[in-house]
Amino acid sequence: RHKLQCIMEELLQTEREYVRALGYVVENYMPELERPDVPQDLRGQRGSIFGNLEKLRDFHQHHFLQELELCLKEPFCVGRCFLKHVKNFGLYALYSKNKPRSERLLIDHGREFFKQKQQLLGDKMDLSSYLLKPVQRISKYGLLLQDMLRECETGAHAGHERLEIQTALNIIQFQLRHGNNLLAMDDLQDCDVNLKEQGQLIRQDEFLLTFRKKKCYRHIFLFQDLILFSKTRRTDVGNDTYIYKQSFKTSDIGMTHNFGDSGLCFEIWFRRRKSQDTYVLQAPSREVKENWTRDLERILWEQAVLNRGEHTVIFRSMLVTKQFLVSIDLHSIIFFLTLYDIVGGIPVLRLNSVGSASYTSSSGSHSSSSGWGSTSPVGHLISPSGGDVVRYVHGTSGILEEDDLDQKSGNQSTLGMSFFTMHPILDVVYTKFKIWDQ
């Protein structure tokens, strides 16, 4: 308890000092740009030099500091303060994104100009040191929250308060990463995709990519709605740029969590494409691989849930005529039925009820799949890459083609009897399999 109190006091004391430092810059350095003798290259550059520092000052001075003061006697409530202001902490990623531009302006045109004010103030620290404080502060939050989390694990507070602090730490760590992500996105070239319409940029990393036995390095960007492949172009000055190569909507892909035995690889596959049209991504570390598969799984599951309304409407229309049923491909039927089942239908048979589905890929490696087959909070979806029922139809490649249904095998019968006939409203769908079997 004593150690936890010390962490809270350090958080509060350093917060007060931080607010004073931000105010010092706003009051003393920002007005300098209004002087008539401002160098030509600095005129109109207030936003480029200071970024959103004034907004950060207002947030911390008028809101966050006051709420932290109230947590002095109840340190475990500090997580709530961070969660309440998730949007405001997004200011830090934008500040970090602007920081390189600010530094270039100060080095090229502002160093001597602002040094005059520094000397007049009698300050040992220059403006560049003050402008570094928001970057240092967001990192400090992460360290202090980690310390608090360790105290939660050893103390009696293991419930919702610990969860709040863990979530607050996740928010801070995301903002630390997101600033770098935004900078990398600015260095993307020859891209004809409107990236502002692809949702939030979640991750970007370098991978060794294998496609049809060919290998190459690709810098990959993961957005909420898009996965984008680019080639890194190294420069002498260290500012790498990324040349756009291709991209896919995340709604069109699935994922295999583990590929091979290295623990570094996962696989991306596509609906309605051949089994060999898959991308194997080798991450630089296990941590990177786990972070990517976790985020991809979350994205795929969220999209499945968001699309359930549309798919349920289509599914119901499938029950109108046999002619329409014959025109629908099997992938769609399986997907529609799965969503209907999860959203509120009657439970059906599951071959693997817990965790991700397993199958043996064409390479012989033991893998687990996600995507349309992503493990969800409410149940396990059916993967066209070889999970659950589909494995009974085509257990090697995991991709089910309509031509496979022409083969009169016992597996096909198992598919119909073990899955569709257990659902009271699916007898018409089962008719389709009997039509194909004739």
pLDDT digits (tens, 9 = 90+) for 368-378: 444 433 333 33
Distance between start and end Cα atoms, the chain: 74
pLDDT at 13 over 80: yes
Same domain, 128 and 33: yes
Q: Give 226's strand partners.
A: 249
The Cβ-side half-sphere exposure at 424, using a 13 Å CA radius, reads 3
The rounded distance, in Å, linking the Cα atoms of 422 and 349 is: 7
pLDDT of residue 212: 86
Sorting pLDDT into bands at 50, 70 and 90, what band is 310? low
Same domain, 277 and 329: no
CB 221 within 8 A of CB 246: no
pLDDT of residue 171: 92
Same domain, 20 and 111: yes
Same domain, 51 and 19: yes
> For 90-103, how does the pLDDT look when each residue is reduced to its tens digit (9 = 90+)?
999 999 999 989 99
What is the rounded average pLDDT of the residues 168-189?
88
Is residue 426 situated within a structural domain? yes
pLDDT of residue 14: 96
Same domain, 166 and 24: yes
- pTM for this one? 0.61
Same domain, 12 and 158: yes
CB 417 within 8 A of CB 430: no
> For 44-79, how does the pLDDT look when each residue is reduced to its tens digit (9 = 90+)?
999 999 999 999 999 999 999 999 999 888 888 899
Q: Give 266's strand partners.
A: 281
Region of residue 261 (left: phi > 0; alpha: psi -120 to 50; beta: else) = alpha
Q: Does an H or E element contain 42, and which?
A: none
Torsion of CA 217, 219, 222, 227, to 10 degrees: -60
Q: Which amino acid is at 233?
A: R
Same domain, 421 and 343: yes
Same domain, 264 and 314: no
The rounded distance, in Å, linking the Cα atoms of 118 and 125 is: 8
Which of 295, 317, 333 is where one domain is finished? Answer: 295
pLDDT at 9 over 70: yes
Same domain, 321 and 410: yes
What is the rounded average pLDDT of the residues 258-272?
87
Is residue 432 situated within a structural domain? yes
> Which has the closest alpha carbon to 318: 338, 332, 303, 304?
332
The Cβ-side half-sphere exposure at 229, using a 13 Å CA radius, reads 18
Judged on CB neighbours under 10 Å (0-12, 13-18, 19+), 146 is middle
**DSSP reduced 3-state for 226:** strand
Same domain, 349 and 418: yes
> For 115-152, how does the pLDDT look when each residue is reduced to its tens digit (9 = 90+)?
999 999 999 999 999 999 999 999 999 999 999 888 87
pLDDT of residue 20: 97
Please state, for a pLDDT cut of 70, what percent of the chain lies above it.
Answer: 67
Same domain, 48 and 157: yes
Cα 203 to the center of its chain, rounded Å = 6
The helix/strand count (H/E) of the chain reads as 17, 10
The CATH number for 286's domain is 2.30.29.30
pLDDT of residue 156: 57
Sheet containing strand 214-223, edge to edge, reads: 188-189, 241-249, 226-233, 214-223, 201-211, 279-282, 265-270, 253-256, 366-370, 357-360
Give the position of tokens 């917060």.
Answer: 15
> Which has the closest alpha carbon to 10: 81, 82, 76, 68?
68
The rounded distance, in Å, linking the Cα atoms of 27 and 38 is: 17
Region of residue 353 (left: phi > 0; alpha: psi -120 to 50; beta: else) = alpha
Question: In which domain, by residue range, is 259 found?
Answer: 195-295
Q: Which amino acid is at 285?
A: S
Please state, for a pLDDT cut of 90, what percent of the chain lies above it.
Answer: 47
- The mean-pLDDT minimum among 14-23, 31-40, 86-95, 350-359 falls in 350-359
Same domain, 152 and 30: yes
CB 127 within 8 A of CB 116: no
- How many domains does one find in the chain? 3
Distances in whole angstroms, Cα of residue 235 to Cα of each of 219, 220, 232, 241: 15, 19, 10, 8
Q: Give 228's strand partners.
A: 221, 247
Q: How many CB atoms lie within 10 A of CB 175?
A: 21
